[in-house]
A and B are shown apart, each in its own frame.
Chain A
Amino acid sequence: MSQKILSAIDPKLRVSVLSEDEIRRIHTATMDVLETIGVRFPSEKALNILEAHGAQVDRETMIAKIPGVIAEEHLSRAPSTYTLCGLEPDFDLPLDGSHSYLGTDGCGVEIIDAFTQEKRPSTKRDVSDVGRVADALPEIAFHWVPLSAQDCPVESRGLHELDAIWNVSGKHLQTESIVSEREMRFAVEMAALLAGGREALRRRPVLSIMQCTISPLCHDAGSLEAALVAAEAGLPVGFMTMASCASTGPATLAGNLVVGNVEVLSALVLLQMAYPGCPVYYAAAQTATDLRTGAYTGGGPADYLFGAATNLLADFYRLPLSMGAFATGAKQPDWQAGVDNSLSAFMAASTGADMLLGAGLLHGSRIFSYEELLMDSEIWNMLCATLRGIVVDDETLALEVIRQVGPGGHYLAHRHTLKHMRELWQPTLMDRRPYSVWEEKRDGAREWAREKAQKILREHPGRPLEDGLRSELMKIIALAEQLS
């Protein structure tokens, strides 16, 4: 992979929140629920596939009970490693178990304008602007469609969002806003056009798909059918549980993990039954319901623990994981956002989650902020350095250097310092200036983040597609609009 993307590689630091025995117990409970309680699949298509492969299906309730052995057998067909591809190979992301990548958060509904600071509903132009900024940031490895293109027709909105990103960036793209079979067929067409055909797309999936489960223990028909279309085309597909303690999941964390696990595995089993060996991933963004308002905002210790625990589960099933991190109820890029996002990202990355989602959105994934995107990127940068850990060898022990400097004196002018100082992490948004300088300017991280974003927006043209491809993409969208 190129140096253009900053990822956490083989973290030396490892957090372990569940013992092997505890993981087994969660697994056993999961198989029990899958087999005896079942999951609702409100789609005939899905039920037919499940039934044909040995699940016990009740057509009236649309609940499928999947025997544990059958589930395990089909899950074992899923590849445990594969690559998410960029339009440019430089941006390829091997999901090989040793890298963690950060993506932007997805599908916000409002944006704080980079120049006017006004908060307003998002447009296609915003999707493309955020795409350009994310393209320029080495910390951002892939895009989640960051915002909803609300100035585009409802029936093709998800396609316009893809178009907006592909026209400015060569990084891998993932979407969560295409939840119908019809729209997904056009999305696959668009991806195939850019990859150079259907077979090429299978080899180089430039698009991946995220769907949600509906906790507790349900799926959405549109999402399932859209996922089947994507899986057939060889696009990596993940299902994300958002089970929320005390409302859509049990109040207890272990029980919540079981509910989420059943939902995600049941969907992935379905995909493996339909298209054995298709690339899939585990996705999760569980949280605890705010007990006073019922809000689902993300953030807090439950999230941090889920971030680490879910990765152990995904590893147990040998599946790549996409973990919702960087989730916060903060309304501005502030202390709350900093605490939530640092800790959630740390816990997920220190267990080796393959994809981390969430940079840039505030207020429970609703409001996009450029300042937050830049700050989240700095957090990620810091974490990548932390997770690398401490290297201990002759060179780093520096015994000879210590001898030369001796008691007293300093290391400032030593060659060893010049050689290694750039390995020390350097901030771009942390304020370490003298007090008087701050007092005079009274600025800080937020202002610097905003300026940085404005500079990128002014100067970085993105990576526009050539005119031919651009108009072909628009033709597919136009067709989708005509046929709807």
Chain B
Amino acid sequence: MDEILQKIISALDEGEDEQISLLVRQALAIGFEPMTILENALVPAMTRVGEKFACGEYFLPNLIVSAEAMKQAMFVLEPVMRQRQQMLKRAGVAVIGTVQGDIHEIGKTLVGTMLSVNGFEVHDLGVDVTPEKFVSAVAETGANLLGLSALLTTTMTVQRDVIQKLEDAGIREQVKVIVGGAPVTRAWADEIGADGYAEDAIGAVEIARRLLDVEGII
């Protein structure tokens, strides 16, 4: 395989996000098709990172720096692909955040990372996000997945408010809503009319893929 693709693979493996942007630019400059870079370097490299994580060789920080590097590589590739009218097949577009009144961040961020590693375009709204903000982000991005994290018994009720606000805005049918966080249970998800519940980030990806009928990654 070409040396430059090999370098992209190892930059992604090691999560060298600055280096990877340079390398992808270089590859484009010497004539590689964006699709080739994606399919022959980035995707297989990310899959390998995922496998290494699954078998315990890699830890979460490995996964996160590689996902970050992937994002940087896509920043370079996407405009070029758009120019050439090449469509990127996404697993889905997700809006995620921790609900209003709640500042617990790490779990939500992990869910976001795992979704993006698995081919979702992720819009992470951060923490302490109002229902209105969730609704307008769904409307603006055309998301088909909404992830609501709540870690407090006093804020999990906001998950219900968000679903209600989606109904009011007439866009409830557009998105699958998944919920999670320490006090959240499957029973709670059913009670508030969410489409899915997951106990951890990997479960969140599984349920998202099931709800949206996604196969394979990217």
Contacts and interface: CB of A to CB of B under 8 A. Distances in A.
B153 A157 contact: yes
Interface string A31-54: 000000000000000000000000
A143 interface: no
Contact of B106 (A110, A292, A296): A296
A322 interface: no
Given A109-B183, A366-B182, A294 B201 contact: yes
A296 B105 CA distance: 12
Contacts, number: 42
A291 B61 contact: yes
Interface string B134-174: 00000000000000000001100100000000000000000
Please tell me the size bucket of the interface on A.
Answer: 20 to 34
Given A148-B183, A150-B153, A366-B182, A294 B103 contact: no
Interface in A205-223: 214, 220
Contacts of A289: 60, 106
Nearest to B200: A293
Nearest to A363: B182
Contact of B183 (A121, A220, A247): A121
Nearest to A291: B59
A150 B155 CA distance: 11
Contact of A154 (B59, B157, B185): B157
Interface in A128-164: 148, 150, 154, 157
A382 interface: no
Max chain B CB contacts within 10 Å: which of A109, A293, A294?
Answer: A294
B56 interface: yes
Contacts of B110: 294
A368 to B, nearest CB: 13
Nearest to A154: B154
Max chain B CB contacts within 10 Å: which of A109, A246, A293?
Answer: A109
Max chain B CB contacts within 10 Å: which of A157, A246, A247, A248?
Answer: A247
Contact of B60 (A109, A150, A214, A291): A291
A246 to B, nearest CB: 6
B196 interface: no
B103 A214 contact: yes
Q: What does DSSP make chain B's interface, helix, strand, loop or mixed? A: loop
Nearest to B114: A294
A148 B200 CA distance: 22
A246 B182 CA distance: 21
A248 B106 contact: yes
Interface string B58-74: 01110000000000000
A8 B203 CA distance: 44
B153 A292 contact: no
Interface string B168-203: 000000000000001101000000000000001100
A298 to B, nearest CB: 14
Interface in B3-59: 56, 59
A244 B200 CA distance: 18
A2 to B, nearest CB: 35
B154 A157 contact: yes
Contacts of B201: 294
A110 B153 CA distance: 10
A41 to B, nearest CB: 14
B211 to A, nearest CB: 23
A231 B124 CA distance: 36
Interface in A282-308: 289, 291-294, 296
A292 B154 contact: no
Nearest to B59: A291
A125 to B, nearest CB: 15
16 contacts: A109-B153, A109-B182, A148-B183, A150-B153, A150-B183, A154-B154, A157-B153, A157-B154, A220-B103, A248-B106, A291-B59, A291-B60, A292-B60, A293-B200, A294-B110, A294-B201
The 3 closest A-B pairs by CB, nearest first: A291-B59, A109-B183, A148-B153
Interface of B: 56, 59-61, 103, 106-107, 110, 153-154, 157, 182-183, 185, 200-201
Given A121-B183, A150-B153, A157-B154, 20 more contacts: A109-B153, A109-B182, A121-B153, A148-B153, A148-B183, A150-B183, A154-B154, A177-B154, A214-B103, A246-B61, A247-B106, A248-B106, A289-B106, A293-B200, A294-B60, A294-B106, A294-B110, A294-B201, A366-B182, A366-B183
